[in-house]
A and B are shown apart, each in its own frame.
Chain A
């Protein structure tokens, strides 16, 4: 009988917390693009005699993520020293949390094709980032004696490490987990979650269970620098491990390095060379005590979470799973949508407009919603007119465009767009219809003869009328006017 496999995936995600200063010193954190070693001080350089002071904001953000993940936050947590020698680690130990992490035992829902799955979160702890090694040659040439420089600007940046349970079984689930987590930390304002710049980093743990009872060793894959890289690395590792097991071999517990350029992983250190980090409690920091009032204050500050929003959009608003997902992706977008509704727009039309018109502008310009040239208030009012039938979609798009381009309020923009309050009705409408029909005798004849069975020609004519009147009439009114005219023409013929 052919062997089958089950994949077990767990992820360790490091998130750079959006604080103004580093985890243990007042140095600024916006180091990207700065002169190397310009954002450093005795503490983050680990100079002899320096001591850490914990950044309360980092604790706040860590607790915020933890509560959003439904973790329990024990009253007392502790910092430990994790020792290893590496030139990017100024003290030769990283201050992290080992024995008593900031938070434990949470979970996060992920959605795959509309189906919900819950992934357990083992723990969340705070730790400091290391510096960065810059490899090169003394004179900047590509060949010749190599030299390594160290930039400590990143050393001491606060990180939250979020460790998942091994609850995922496909690269797709891993992808959804990372995207959901990124969405969450962005919602919470806890991190920019940008994987390319390294403010969100993922270490992958993957192993195989074979139907004959064999269990492969857990392999940790490092150096996956994008969601796509993670998926590829997982796909590669899964097939590599299966091949090893199929050929009767053993998968060893080890750390492997993902090489994105050739799409494979390679072992980094030998399996027998297990690292001994010699953890022990950081004596320079007293235990971290988090009392109920601190937790309550953070809780009060929690927004509606992305998966809660998504579910509400779907269940209460009746949006499709896809729309609910799109519209809950960004907190600013979701909030823009909700405010638009609060200012008079119907949920359906607001959702349609935000996911098309608004999102298009955001994607094209790369701005945030608060930089949009129109407010949810004016969009809400505009869509209210559409909903009540006094404005067609086409006309509204024109008005929105004017609002955006000229930065005008709704009334002014409507005037500018040539929209007549109350719309085109009666004789004006009839006049427009006649003009179109007379201008397009072939199409009109086809419709009159009854051979426009698909209704395409009729729709075409209707569109022309709408364009003629700048969309300032209800579809139903236009349609009725066309019917009336066609009847007249029929009667005239007969």
Chain B
């Protein structure tokens, strides 16, 4: 049995070709998880029994000549804000207690339909609010590249699971950068699809107009494979849609970018980034230039200036609404109280952590009468301007190359007393959510310190497959993401 983590594509063909069994692959994954979890704390729930049962089912399916699907026997991790039937789904919060959803998220169905085996539910910032994966009822996640640092957030557990080689593929959710920022911090690829490209059915909502589910992987081929599985319209999600039926895997195999234009963002050129990250952008631009791309100068001035305040009005507003349902009456935590209002207050007081409360308060404030127009209405206008600015940028570029983060992963505890400092770290990712665009963090290498560098690609709406092509070109130049060896430990 191979103990070295394998790519999803390799596993799927090995399992389908009966070169190895799904049970072997999943067992190896569970062993790595058992060995490293004490240090990483990337998972909230390990689904060992269910995963092994599922793997055995796939092996039987293969044995009886059935088609086990494109992800046959591939162990995957999904973020713990994705509903799994009968398996607790906590969102990293006390509030949900041990709530076991009676249904699976659409992406969970699709993964399992494709033969994937879910081995665990990943740790996260409570209700996906945070950029460090420290705001979890289940304790902070460590960065597999350097355990003294955070893995980023909020999908830090999923990013860490892929970086540490638990699994080749994990799903996260991205509301303001919660896939792309932890991907950058953990040194893996992470893709946030076009808003509406992947069903949100079964994703516990943070900010509905911004949330999107997307994958992490260590190779662009695996990213493409996963996108082929989860992309597409779902009638249960009225905001989902699809334009054509892109073949992501083909794009990863034959990445032709010759003759296209890569937009370099004027505002991000100087002084904003830590030097190695700035160099990653330059190197990626060079690599794309060598492949026949022309560089174009684009401006995202409004996004840079107004994106942050706009996002921190719209997302808490929607969050305050989405999280209002947690009243202790039907599921999750319930504090005993003599009447409904006291139960409501006590339950919400005890169930939510500080960061979540901060956002609920902010959101309720910006939606309250007297402040609504000044904050919420204005933010909606700004959002339109940001969309328009990206549209303009895409008239002179086919894809935008920009940083995903401005720094290496933070030391743990860095933002304990500085929530706004943490918010600011989302500057490069959240405008993409505001505009509903597809964006991808592409791993570009490890520094001598062992810390990763990366770039972010942003494409026009419904051009998710473009991200895969450019990422494949970059990956050819810089190599794929290696499994974290354990860094300093």
**Chain A positions near chain B (C-beta within 8 angstroms):** 42, 45-54, 81, 83, 85-87, 90-93, 148, 150, 276, 278-280, 283-286
Contact = CB atoms under 8 A, between A and B. Distances in A.
Interface string B235-267: 111110000000000000000000000000000
A48 B205 contact: yes
25 contacts: A42-B101, A42-B103, A45-B330, A46-B325, A47-B101, A48-B96, A49-B89, A49-B101, A49-B201, A49-B204, A52-B238, A81-B321, A85-B340, A85-B344, A87-B329, A91-B324, A278-B320, A278-B367, A278-B368, A278-B369, A278-B372, A279-B367, A280-B317, A280-B367, A280-B376
B367 A42 contact: no
B151 interface: no
A45 B83 CA distance: 15
A51 B321 contact: no
A52 B81 CA distance: 18
Nearest to B339: A148
Contacts of B82: 49
User: Which applies to chain A's interface (DSSP): helix, strand, loop or mixed?
Assistant: loop
A51 B101 CA distance: 14
B209 interface: yes
Contacts of A150: 329
Contacts of A51: 200-201, 236-239
A92 B325 contact: yes
B318 interface: yes
Contact of A49 (B83, B320, B324): B83
A87 B343 CA distance: 11
Interface string B186-210: 0000000000000011111101110
Interface of B: 81-83, 89, 91, 96, 99, 101-103, 105, 200-205, 207-209, 235-239, 317-318, 320-321, 324-325, 327, 329-331, 340-341, 344, 364, 367-369, 372, 376
Contacts of B105: 49
A87 B209 CA distance: 26
Contacts of A81: 321
Nearest to A54: B238
Given A148-B340, A283-B209, A285-B239, 11 more contacts: A42-B101, A42-B102, A48-B96, A48-B325, A54-B238, A83-B321, A85-B344, A87-B327, A87-B329, A278-B369, A284-B237
- Taking each of A150, A278, A284, which has the highest tally of chain B beta carbons within 10 Å of its own beta carbon? A278
Contacts of A50: 201-202
Given A46-B325, A49-B205, A87 B340 contact: yes
Given A45-B330, A47-B331, A49-B205, A280 B321 contact: yes
A93 B364 CA distance: 13
Contacts of B367: 83, 278-280
Contacts of A52: 238
Contacts of A148: 340
A278 B201 contact: no
B238 A285 contact: yes
Contacts of B329: 87, 150
A83 B207 CA distance: 16
Contacts of B209: 283
- Taking each of A53, A284, A286, which has the highest tally of chain B beta carbons within 10 Å of its own beta carbon? A284
